[in-house]
Structure 1
Amino acid sequence: MSPDDRPLTVLECSGVGPGGITRVLTELARHWPADHRLEVLAAPAGWDVGGVPVVSRQGGGRERTIAAAAAALRRRRAGRVLSLSPSLAVAGVRVPLTTIVHDLAFRLWPHGLSRAVRQYRRVSYATAIRRSGRLLCVSERTRHDLLGVYGLGADRTAVWHPGSDLSAPGARPAVLPPDYVLVPGHAAHKGVELAVEAMRDFPGHTLAVLGGGARPAAGGSGRVIVLDRLDEAAYAAAVAGAAAFVMPSHFEGYGLPAAEALRLGTPTVISPDPALREATGGAAVCMESWTAGALTAALREALARPRPARPVATRSWREATLDLVERVWR
């Protein structure tokens, strides 16, 4: 088979922004099999994985990005389209379309989302559901939500779990103290306020908040630092070096960072969210409720446990990518 005869998948990324979906994009591009072609449409500005063709990039705001992506997709007459999240750009697609659905937070936990964002997501999800031959949900929880909210037939949906392996840790960010607890904090649903309150009971540890953004109130302790967005090696080092990794999230579609922390051997605490339970497979300490007291108790348990002799075995990105390609071309 000549290179041009390989099956072509267009990875549609107009809905990809900062956060976990960008990691999904990067890892899929890195691990895409050589016997399949891949082109990336509407890639985030500055995103690059060597050797992967980028057809277009996001720019000029959401409306222009979507319009440009939609025009490019309408011209496609061969191959398959894989949309990394529900998008209006797929409204006129003429080839088989698969869409990945990460969560339904805009319907089930919309706190912190503007009215405009909620409205866009309602329309984009409706479009993706109408146009997609297959909807791949990143967890059973998300599939359950999708079936319940939209009343879809189960035969149009399936579960596809992401990978969770990271590159080797690099140098730990210099701002981190010797003893710290790490929490993702780029969005309201991450439950950072519970972590801040719980840390009052751990005077020997600092809370490090991942993801940049505003510094949360430290509750009088002053032991809270906020990390700007880290490159992959620094992120892996920060997770691997933490005394514990906590995700007291109010809502998750999957909970990839918790799975990554377990793979790196870091004691991990999760909320009772069903997607987090699914992502961690019983290997994390689970809070009994969404309260600071429950997080305190779970964190004490995690810190008292010896670190595992070997990291928790989780799904690799190579396995996840090969599985995804097979589903797109099934």
Structure 2
Amino acid sequence: MQPGNATTIVDCSGVGAGGITRVLSELVRYWPAGGPLRIVASPPGWEPPADRAVETEVVSRQEHGRVGTIAGATEQLRRVTGRYPDARVLSLSPSLAIRGSRLPVTTIVHDLAFKLWPHNLSASVKQYRRLSYGTAIGRSQQLICVSARTRHDLLGIYDVPYSKTAVWHPGSDLSVVPGALPPDVAAVREAGWRYLLVAGHAAHKGVEIAIDAVAELPGYVLVVLTGGDPVEEFRRVAAQSPAGPRVLFLDRVSDAEYAATLTGAAAFLMPSHFEGYGLPAAEALRLGTPTVISPDPALLEATGGAAVRMDSWTPEAMVRALRQVESGQLPVASAELGGRSWREATEHLVALLADAPAQSAHQGG
């Protein structure tokens, strides 16, 4: 069977709001037309992109919380893999539900943050992730890591055979053209301020470093992307900082607003303590926005040496990096700023699925 002609069953039961939902949308948008997609446990409110070429069926949706989602997805995978015995199964994130698959599974591993940056995770979340990652590693014929850094972590922590893994970088082009700025950001610009933009939807994003740095940079407003779920610790730090009046927490924005906000920033900041890849930094560079990253190795990998890299996880290091941006002394850009397109990334993923090592199917438990 040709790579583009196989039915692909996509398990989304481990996908929450955020970056992996974006991965789902872009893969569906650019998946080759020959092989239909069957989506199991799609995220709430998610719909296949209208401009896709591939036949797409949403078999089931996430519902009844994590427990209900996993139970439902396990049963749906058992049914749908029985109905399509020549299909292949792609799990977009480690999940217990793949126990239900009657066919071998390929799982995408985005990071091992629950092992390497477990701060602020509840005991129940850590336990669930231990179980879901253990299941994915034991039941997958292939583990696709979004960076060499994640592959390194996977090999080191779980002693996975190298031959069972591959590296796959996501795309970084945005599917929309920049629209109007969100009203709060437009007001900042109309008042004559420049703004710095920072990813801030999770506790490991290092926003506290950016807030402390902006206290030393009176010419800027700091705009924090929260994805509609702000981290309370970042709000507390802002409230206690002399820069607090110059910190703006954005609610969820549309794709077009996100593109506009990235494009209009004086610089995009990603001072993360830990990343599996760092897609927003790659997206910012692709739009031509100067980008500052922490010393995290995955961020260096994602940005291809084109971002200004902090020399430590400190506000002083961020101030130095921003002074470098202001002076125009940016790194020599890589041949393709911000990495590859989603079309190229999707073609690569399809090829990896086609080349997955042959292995007998696991029966669902």
TM-score if structure 2 supplies the norm length?
0.86
1:170 to 179, 186, 200: 179
For this pair of structures, how many residues does the alignment match? 327
**Equivalent residues in 2 for 1:261-272, closer than 5 Å:** 261-272=284-295
Q: Aligned in 2, Cα 1:306/1:272: closer, same or farther, shift over 3 Å?
A: closer
Q: How far apart are the structure 2 equivalents of 1:312 and 1:108?
A: 29
Task: Report the residue type matching 1:57 in the other structure.
Answer: R
**Equivalent residues in 2 for 1:99-248, closer than 5 Å:** 99-166=107-174, 167-176=176-185, 177-178=188-189, 179-211=194-226, 212=228, 213=230, 214=232, 215-218=235-238, 219-221=241-243, 222-248=245-271
> Which stretch of structure 1 is more off in the superposition, 44-53 or 95-104?
44-53
Offset, 1:265:
0.2
Q: How far apart are the structure 2 equivalents of 1:187 and 1:237?
A: 22
Q: How far apart are the structure 2 equivalents of 1:323 and 1:289?
A: 34
Alpha-carbon displacement from aligned partner over 1:230-283 (angstroms, at most 9, x marks no partner): 121111110011000000000000000000000000000000000000000100
Match of 2:72 in 1: 68
Q: How far apart are the structure 2 equivalents of 1:225 and 1:278?
A: 29
Task: Report the residue type matching 2:199 in the other structure.
Answer: P
- Aligned structure 1 segments of 4 or more residues deviating by more than 6 angstroms: 306-311
Match of 2:352 in 1: 327
> Which stretch of structure 1 is more off in the superposition, 129-138 or 214-223?
214-223
Percent of aligned positions that are identical: 61
Task: Tell me if the contact between 2:92 and 2:108 (Cα under 8 Å) persists in the aligned partners.
Answer: yes
Task: Report the residue type matching 1:66 in the other structure.
Answer: I
> Which stretch of structure 1 is more off in the superposition, 307-316 or 196-205?
307-316
Offset, 1:329:
2.0
- Give SS of 1:201's match: coil
- Give SS of 1:197's match: helix
Offset, 1:313:
5.6
Offset, 1:303:
2.6
Q: How far apart are the structure 2 equivalents of 1:216 and 1:171?
A: 30
Tell which has more relative contact order, 1 or 2 (C-alpha 8 A, sep 6+). 2
Task: Report the residue type matching 2:91 in the other structure.
Answer: S
Offset, 1:304:
2.4
Task: Report the residue type matching 1:188 in the other structure.
Answer: A
Alpha-carbon RMSD: 1.8
Match of 1:57 in 2: 61
- Give SS of 1:10's match: strand
Task: Report the residue type matching 1:58 in the other structure.
Answer: Q
Offset, 1:29:
1.0
**Is 1:312 matched with 2:337?**
yes
